[in-house]
């Protein structure tokens, strides 16, 4: 099922859901040139098949596996059992490419959600998007944008997180816990390193090996993610308050960082994902840009 998206929504929504469906039997698909402007995620819930990625590497796909491919990426997948059950989501949006790149979704790949204990959570998120997308309408597209972002963040955490197979991620577990618990505080790299008994240089090497980014960039991403949630879930908060609760004490810096990560200012993101004029809630327009 593909949902019509207006030009206005294409301009405003950082991520939008163009299509989604639940299939009792996934047929063979081949995209030599990929999709022109969209990316796809598919979760398989029964049966088995093969996925051929952009490097022409073939991998068997079983229940619980998620495959993804970015726009312009050649891929192929086909069933090897009578029934191959799947759900797919096709996404677009001005911020999608940058977000996927930061999360490590480079061209195409496989995420084994069952092996890392995330299948139920991820499958429920696919279900929610597929069911909501059947309703259509502007408000639905706004909610779908938020759900798609949440799904991407969850899959980003799952990507490459095979327990016991990535020593760098294992060593970083205490630091990741500190980041998620204390992201709103003014916490330094030295403090993060000390929380695990490491030196800052070593922590930087671990983050590059495990997440292909720096520890501070990871921290900022967590802060922006929290800000996105607060902007859409609590309209009584001003943009300045959202920034402070997410670890950004300087409103100007918050606006610049938020736009760099999402492609929108905090005010634009809130309006795109709620379709409510938040100025009526007493926001100070001077802190929204």
H or E stretch at 167: helix 167-182
The confidence score (pLDDT) of residue 210 equals 77
* Residue 98: partners with Cβ closer than 8 Å, 6 or more residues away: 261, 263
Tokens of 168: 């760098």
Integer Cα distance of 235 and 108 in angstroms? 37
- Tell me the average pLDDT across 158-177: 73
Q: Higher model confidence: residue 286 or residue 15?
A: 15
CA nearest to 69, candidates 20, 43, 112, 108: 108
The confidence score (pLDDT) of residue 245 equals 96
Residue pLDDT, tens place only, 170-215? 889 899 999 999 999 999 999 999 999 999 999 999 988 877 788 9
- Say if residues 48 and 62 touch (Cβ distance below 8 Å): yes
Integer Cα distance of 122 and 119 in angstroms? 5
**Strand order, beta sheet including 58-62:** 29-31, 75-79, 48-52, 58-62
- Angle, helices 266-274 vs 251-262, to 10°: value is 50
Instruction: Look up the pTM and report it.
Output: 0.58
The confidence score (pLDDT) of residue 288 equals 42
The confidence score (pLDDT) of residue 166 equals 64
Residue ranges of the chain assigned to CATH 1.10.10.60: 166-289
When the candidates are 3.30.450.20, 1.10.10.60, 3.30.420.40, 1.20.120.420, the CATH number that belongs to 166-289 is: 1.10.10.60
Fold designation for 7-158: Jelly Rolls (2.60.120)
Q: What pLDDT band is residue 163 in, cutting at 50, 70 and 90?
A: very low
Residue pLDDT, tens place only, 114-130? 888 889 999 999 999 99
Integer Cα distance of 204 and 171 in angstroms? 12
- Tell me the average pLDDT across 77-94: 92
Integer Cα distance of 248 and 266 in angstroms? 12
- Say if residues 22 and 87 touch (Cβ distance below 8 Å): yes
Q: Exposed, middle or buried: residue 213 (CB in 10 Å: 0-12, 13-18, 19+)?
A: middle
The strand pairing partners of 41, in sequence order, are: 68, 89
- Tell me the average pLDDT across 46-69: 93
Integer Cα distance of 152 and 92 in angstroms? 12
The confidence score (pLDDT) of residue 283 equals 40
Q: Which of 2-6, 20-24, 144-148, 209-213 has the lowest mean pLDDT?
A: 2-6
Residue listed under structure tokens 């000390």: 194
DSSP designation for 221:
H
Residue ranges of the chain assigned to CATH 2.60.120.280: 7-158
- Say if residues 87 and 151 touch (Cβ distance below 8 Å): no
């Amino acid at each position: 099922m593909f949902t019509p998206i207006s030009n206005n929504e294409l301009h405003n929504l950082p991520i939008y859901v163009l299509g989604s469906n639940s299939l009792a039997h996934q047929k063979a698909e081949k995209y030599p040139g990929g999709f022109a402007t969209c990316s796809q995620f598919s979760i398989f819930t029964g049966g088995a098949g093969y996925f051929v990625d952009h490097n022409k590497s073939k991998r068997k796909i079983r229940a619980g596996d998620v495959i993804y491919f970015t726009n312009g990426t050649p891929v192929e997948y086909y069933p090897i059992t009578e029934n191959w059950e799947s759900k797919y989501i096709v996404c677009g949006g001005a911020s999608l490419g940058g977000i996927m790149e930061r999360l490590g979704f480079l061209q195409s790949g496989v995420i084994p959600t069952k092996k890392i204990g995330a299948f139920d959570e991820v499958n429920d998120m696919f279900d929610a998007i597929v069911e909501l997308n059947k309703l259509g309408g502007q408000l639905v597209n706004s909610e779908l944008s938020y759900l798609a972002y949440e799904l991407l963040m969850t899959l980003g955490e799952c990507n490459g997180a095979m327990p016991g197979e990535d020593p760098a991620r294992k060593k970083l577990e205490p630091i990741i816990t500190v980041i998620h618990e204390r992201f709103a505080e003014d916490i330094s790299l030295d403090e993060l390193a000390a929380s695990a008994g490491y030196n800052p240089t070593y922590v930087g090497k671990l983050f590059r090996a495990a997440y292909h980014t720096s520890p501070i960039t990871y921290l900022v991403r967590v802060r922006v993610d929290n800000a996105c949630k607060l902007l859409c879930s609590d309209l009584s908060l001003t943009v300045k308050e959202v920034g402070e609760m997410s670890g950004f004490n300087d409103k100007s810096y918050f606006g610049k960082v938020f736009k760099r990560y999402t492609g929108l200012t905090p005010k634009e993101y809130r309006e795109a994902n709620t379709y409510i004029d938040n100025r009526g809630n007493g926001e100070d327009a001077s802190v929204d840009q």
